[in-house]
Chain A
Amino acid sequence: MGKDNITFHTVMWPAILMGAGDLKLPDEIVASEFLHMEGRKFSTSRGQVVYVKDVLDRYDADALRYYLMIAGPENQDTDFTWSEFIRRNNDELVATWGNLVHRTLVNAHRNFGAVPAPGRTSPADELLLKEIEDALGYVADQLEEARFQNALKHAMAMASKVNVYLGTEQPWHTIKTDRERAGTVLYVALRCVDNLKTMLTPFLPFSSQRLHAMLGYEDVIAPQPEVRQFSEDGTSHRVITGEYEAVDRWLPSRLEAGRKLPPPQALFKRLDDLPEEEPPASS
């Protein structure tokens, strides 16, 4: 059925447009394969189904968005399993990206209360800054081609890289002996976090907006939709809409030294390996 839908976009609708004669044909068709449930096809009639509502009653929207985008059926059928959902949340969102944000912000906040002023940067600092800035271009190219998994995996790989950098530089130790060097390392890490935040905002809008505020910004980078009542021809119905401005934000971070940092909060929740209750897998 998913593949049958393709022809609505590539054949039926274009033919109608050709027949009507005045509309532009679509440029790009993005289609994906099927998502399966624990090895079987989703089926409402067999109760083999996971409802969005049930997931969101228990977990954050970003955890679901992340899983669907990184493990979804972009190029081939994939299988949804609860153990993979939990593993990806814990190992990737919490342990990689969340941990990077946490270590960077906690150390910067605790020791400086603001974005520290960098001293002289090392070649390793410059290399990392450049690599993460270049990732902005790479991720944009991938998204342009609707290669979501490449985009997301690259951003996460870059987050791992910054984690390795922090592990090597250990600013939480350096701070005791060389405050300026620790400040430089944290400044570099903050800039990287700010850039990674930009790349991850389309995928993880809720946590990215919170991170944006933790970096001391006050504006909105990840607006959210709202429900409004819309009247037309004497009747009224609910619509989803919102104020989403086009902004020029896909640019390298220019986080200034001295910007005050509020106390950081955890971005993601670690999930129990085995939920106590039956997961909302079926009804």
Chain B
Amino acid sequence: MTDTFHQVPERRTVLIAPAWPYANGPRHIGHVVGFAVPGDVLARFERLRGSRVLMASGTDEHGTPITYEADKNGIPPREFADRNNALIVDDLVRLGMTYDIFTRTTTANHYRVTQDLFLKLYEGGYLIEKKQLGAFDAATGRTLPDRYIEGKCPICGYPEARGDQCDNCGNQLDPIDLINPHQRGSDAPVEFRDTEHFFFDLPAFGEQLKAWIEEHDDWRPNVRKYSLEFVRNLKPRAITRDLDWGVPVPLPGWEDNPSKKIYVWFDAVTRRGRSGGRTPRAGTTTRWAKTTSPSTP
């Protein structure tokens, strides 16, 4: 029985930020066991004991796997993403996932939030502009990810080695090393040329990240160990790409360039902390119900 004179404690606010499923098809149970069901169990539990919950997520709809699949199906990327967003939404509603908001990375709001964060990092001096060698589809000018390039392995001679590794000898490769490089599944040629990009200065945060991870002895041991290993060897990470499907780079000279976009990992990672324009308040507990989903490209 609730006592009328009982003082109601201040409600705790809990942000639950499950991974954003990649809009490349309907969900299988290996996906939802990671990103969806545990998050919903936590959200329902927290609400039952009186916490205010914000569980926010959405479909992650940019990136080369989407444009590649869209091309294969002969439809524009947006149509391909629309189709898969609808399938994923149905799966999640039928499973009873109580998202406060489940949106998409192709909304105007998402573009704004991503660009704001990009500018903050830029103004803070954490984005480095530099040239790198990129692989392109000679016909469309579109960038080609390593694993969409095939050729002869320079080490073992296997004719169908991929740009990132040879499945025959197991060696890690660079696309430029391949003999007679061509696009996966066709003879279309690959063009290598210099391209200007922004890199996120990850090493600048090495010490701070290490200290922060070490502080968290409450994390699962596997998570902590893997993260500490990762921080030991940080490299600057490209934050823009040669793409026509994505969030435009909010800088003069870049903004209107139809083939330069913010790299999908940054676009996607941005969503995990901010949704629908709402941000976690001070004193908020943030939970990251994650993940087996092989959804982040």
Interface string of B266-297 (1 = CB under 8 A from A): 10111011100001101011111111111110
The CA-CA distance from A18 to B201 in the complex, in Å, is 12
Pair A237/B94 contact, Cβ less than 8 Å: no
Pair B279/A23 contact, Cβ less than 8 Å: yes
Whether A254 is near chain B, meaning CB under 8 Å from some CB there, is yes
Pair A26/B226 contact, Cβ less than 8 Å: no
Q: Whole-angstrom distance from the CB of A11 to the nearest CB of chain B?
A: 6
The CA-CA distance from A30 to B106 in the complex, in Å, is 27
The CA-CA distance from A5 to B222 in the complex, in Å, is 13
Is chain A's binding surface mostly helix, strand, loop or mixed? mixed
Interface size for B (C-beta < 8 A) is: 105
Pair A68/B230 contact, Cβ less than 8 Å: no
Interface size for A (C-beta < 8 A) is: 90
Pair B101/A30 contact, Cβ less than 8 Å: no
Interface string of B78-106 (1 = CB under 8 A from A): 00000001110111111111111111101
Pair B47/A246 contact, Cβ less than 8 Å: yes
Q: Which of A51-59, A90-98, A160-168, A169-177 contacts B (4 or more CB under 8 A)?
A: A51-59
Pair B292/A27 contact, Cβ less than 8 Å: no
Contacting A32 at CB < 8 Å: which of B99, B202, B292? B292
The CA-CA distance from A224 to B99 in the complex, in Å, is 9
Whether A16 is near chain B, meaning CB under 8 Å from some CB there, is yes
The CA-CA distance from A254 to B1 in the complex, in Å, is 7
Please indicate the chain A residues that have their CB under 8 angstroms from the CB of B126 in the complex.
19
Whether B168 is near chain A, meaning CB under 8 Å from some CB there, is no
Contacting B94 at CB < 8 Å: which of A12, A14, A52, A75? A52
Please indicate the chain B residues that have their CB under 8 angstroms from the CB of A7 in the complex.
226-227, 230
Interface string of A14-40 (1 = CB under 8 A from B): 111111110111111111111111000
The CA-CA distance from A225 to B94 in the complex, in Å, is 9
Contact (A250, B48) CB under 8 Å given A42-B28, A52-B32, A61-B94:
yes
- Taking A31-B291, A52-B29 as known contacts, 4 extra A-B pairs with beta carbons closer than 8 A to each other, sorted by chain A number, are A7-B227, A198-B48, A224-B93, A246-B51
| 16 examples of A-B residue contacts, CB within 8 angstroms | A8-B272, A10-B224, A10-B226, A16-B200, A26-B273, A27-B285, A30-B220, A30-B287, A68-B37, A69-B37, A146-B289, A201-B44, A224-B96, A224-B98, A238-B85, A244-B47
